[in-house]
Homo-oligomer: A and B are copies of this chain.
């Protein structure tokens, strides 16, 4: 039919692999991703993937990075150091929202940014914003770390979902205070949302206290800097 020799389009691309892998992880979990299964989902045979990624792990890393890329960083743009608290809050909420949209990939994200570009952009933006806001670099590093602990921990496993949804699971003789624990599974999202908000507020309140002691405001962009 067609006389012109047109180049056949490749069946696969990195983007298509990452998208399909992400959908598979979301739908069936990390364990469901085998190279053969993923390839089948893409309509090719297993080894084909190795033309586009060096290992299966790099596919998962790419999925993780695509999730990191969904985190809003625009709150750090306003170079006004005075509002570090609001920025940190909004960033944390956006970060957690991205993770809870794809909870099954969190264990991969939790390994750290490594060489993943979106993960590094995220770390860079928040560290820079804290330093601009007047936090000493060592403290800004601590804030980056502790926010990460809290956010990853909150997304890694539901607290409520960690209990079994079975009335008879927790004998009051063994665990006198866990009588209602099996109910947690029901209201998972509500309980985890509330705990996250409570913890985030406590964290920010506590950091604000430390910010006063460190005299952070002096380093902000709206005041003369005292540190180099």
Asked whether A158 is an interface residue with its Cβ less than 8 Å from the other chain, the reply is yes
By secondary structure, the A interface counts as helix
Contact A112 B195 (CB under 8 A): no
Residues of B within 8 A of A170 (CB): 120
Given contacts A121-B175, A153-B151, A157-B111, contact A199 B163 (CB under 8 A): no
Asked whether A209 is an interface residue with its Cβ less than 8 Å from the other chain, the reply is yes
Contact A128 B177 (CB under 8 A): yes
Q: How large is the interface on A (under 10, 10 to 19, 20 to 34, 35 or more residues)?
A: 35 or more
Contact B174 A160 (CB under 8 A): no
Asked whether A94 is an interface residue with its Cβ less than 8 Å from the other chain, the reply is no
Q: Closest residue to A131 on the B side, CB-wise?
A: B177
Contact B142 A194 (CB under 8 A): yes
- Known pairs A114-B162, A125-B177, A204-B206; list 8 more (Cβ under 8 Å): A112-B159, A123-B181, A131-B177, A145-B199, A148-B159, A149-B196, A150-B199, A203-B206
Q: What is the distance, in angstroms, from A198's C-beta to the closest C-beta of chain B? A: 4
Contact B158 A124 (CB under 8 A): no
Asked whether A79 is an interface residue with its Cβ less than 8 Å from the other chain, the reply is no
Give bound CA distance, A4 to B68, whole Å.
68
Give bound CA distance, A153 to B146, whole Å.
8
Residues of B within 8 A of A153 (CB): 110, 148-154, 156
Contact of A159 among B145, B181, B202, B207 (CB under 8 A): B145
Residue picked from A139, A157, A160, A174, most chain B C-beta under 10 Å: A157
Residues of B within 8 A of A150 (CB): 146, 149-150, 153, 199
